[in-house]
Amino acid sequence: MTNRFKAEDFLGLIPPKATADIFTLTTKEHPDDAILQIVESFKSNKWFILELQESYMPSQLYGQLRSLSVSNRLDIQNLLGSDEKEMIVEQPKESRVVVITTNEIAEKLGNKFKGVFGAVLNI
């Protein structure tokens, strides 16, 4: 969590052989777009960096992040933009999901934020 750190800055901290996709979530974005991007990142064994710029965590995205934190998989149903009605996507061992936000936004999200994320790095 930070006040100045941006998702692009984090790219220099990932392992040298790893690549990452960045998704910036705001109220203008549909949460299913973020979930689809996670799926695409996993298909390519990439890291997924989610940057929260607003105190906005829609329930469908929260549920998928929670599923990842508990079982290392996505359990998706009726995802907008996908032809499949149901998908179970395992997180590859090479992939990671990193969420970047400010202290202020994390505090506003409260338990919704803390309920999903294990280790929190405060920069």
Write down the pLDDT at residue 24: 93
Long-range contacts from 69-76, C-beta under 8 angstroms, 24+ separation: 69/116, 69/117, 69/118, 74/35, 74/38, 74/39, 74/42, 76/35, 76/39
Q: pLDDT (tens digit, 0 to 9) for every residue of the chain, 123 residues total?
A: 445 567 777 788 888 889 999 999 999 998 889 999 999 999 999 999 999 888 888 988 988 998 998 899 998 887 776 677 788 999 999 999 988 888 888 888 876 666 666 555 555
**What phi-psi label fits residue 55: left (phi over 0), alpha (psi between -120 and 50 degrees) or beta?**
beta
CATH 2.170.150 correct for 7-114: no
Model confidence pTM above 0.75: yes
d(CA 89, CA 100): 23
Q: Residue ranges of the domains in the chain?
A: 7-114
Contacts of 26 (CB under 8 A, 6+ apart): 53, 54, 56
Write down the pLDDT at residue 21: 95
3-class state of residue 81 by DSSP:
coil
